[in-house]
A and B are shown apart, each in its own frame.
Chain A
């Protein structure tokens, strides 16, 4: 079974520029998550999708971050405009909808550096 795919793996941009990340979850996984992981910290949930609907985006900075999962499969996360404090690893994870113990499967992440 293929894992969660993310691209690009690395991205360097200047502040105020825009950037987009792509995620393709494990086939059949209805739930998709985007996390931000700042160096030395645990992942922080940005947004959770169930199929193509948003379940939780309470910690998404909506003035600059947006995400979509139009067909309920792959997803994109966008930052516009980027700030220095957005430098982090952006992780995508997916989960089978009906699994009670909530195991999540993570992609390798995109490391973003904002200069």
Chain B
């Protein structure tokens, strides 16, 4: 069974601080996605990484896929209150069904 472990589960920081969220597995994924979910809404896709070692940037967010495609990280620079939410990583396996395995999520609170 493929599992994704996210850490930390909860993070409360002050505006302007930097943070990193980790997503780890013992399984290889063909691609990995990061979503952000706000209260009362469904998850919204932030980025998809496909190639081992790939780094993608989205404004102040930097996403990295591990060389072995088993892990990923999300780094936020100078966090803002608008970054508050639940961050989910999700991995796609080697089958063509498009099935995603989600981590348990990291709840981020950025205080002004």
Please give the residue numbers on chain A whose beta carbons come within 8 Å of chain B beta carbons, in ascending order: 4, 31, 40-45, 48, 55-56, 91, 93, 95, 99-109, 111
Residues of chain B within 8 A (CB-CB) of A31 are 98
List the 5 closest pairs (A to B, CB-CB), nearest first. Answer: A106-B42, A42-B102, A102-B92, A102-B98, A101-B48
The number of chain B residues with a CB under 8 A from chain A is 25
The listed residue (B33, B41, B43, B88) touching A102 by CB distance below 8 A is B33
Give the distance to chain A from B43, nearest Cβ to Cβ, in Å: 5
Instruction: Indicate if the CB atoms of A101 and B50 lie closer than 8 Å.
Output: yes
Assembly CA distance A48 to B98 (angstroms)? 9
Q: Which of chain B's residues has its CB closest to A91's CB?
A: B42
Instruction: Indicate if the CB atoms of A103 and B88 lie closer than 8 Å.
Output: no
Instruction: Indicate if the CB atoms of B100 and A102 lie closer than 8 Å.
Output: yes
Assembly CA distance A107 to B105 (angstroms)? 18
Give the distance to chain A from B71, nearest Cβ to Cβ, in Å: 16
Instruction: Indicate if the CB atoms of A42 and B103 lie closer than 8 Å.
Output: yes
Instruction: Indicate if the CB atoms of A93 and B102 lie closer than 8 Å.
Output: no
Assembly CA distance A93 to B41 (angstroms)? 12
Given contacts A101-B48, A101-B50, contact A109 B99 (CB under 8 A): no
Instruction: Indicate if the CB atoms of A108 and B105 lie closer than 8 Å.
Output: no
Residues of chain A within 8 A (CB-CB) of B82 are none
Task: Provide a sorted-by-A list of 5 A–B residue pairs whose CB atoms are within 8 angstroms.
Answer: A42-B102, A42-B103, A48-B99, A100-B31, A109-B40
Q: Which of chain B's residues has its CB closest to A3's CB?
A: B42
Assembly CA distance A104 to B50 (angstroms)? 15
What 1/0 mask marks residues of chain B from 30 to 62 whose CB sits below 8 Å from any chain A CB?
A: 010101000011111100101000000000000
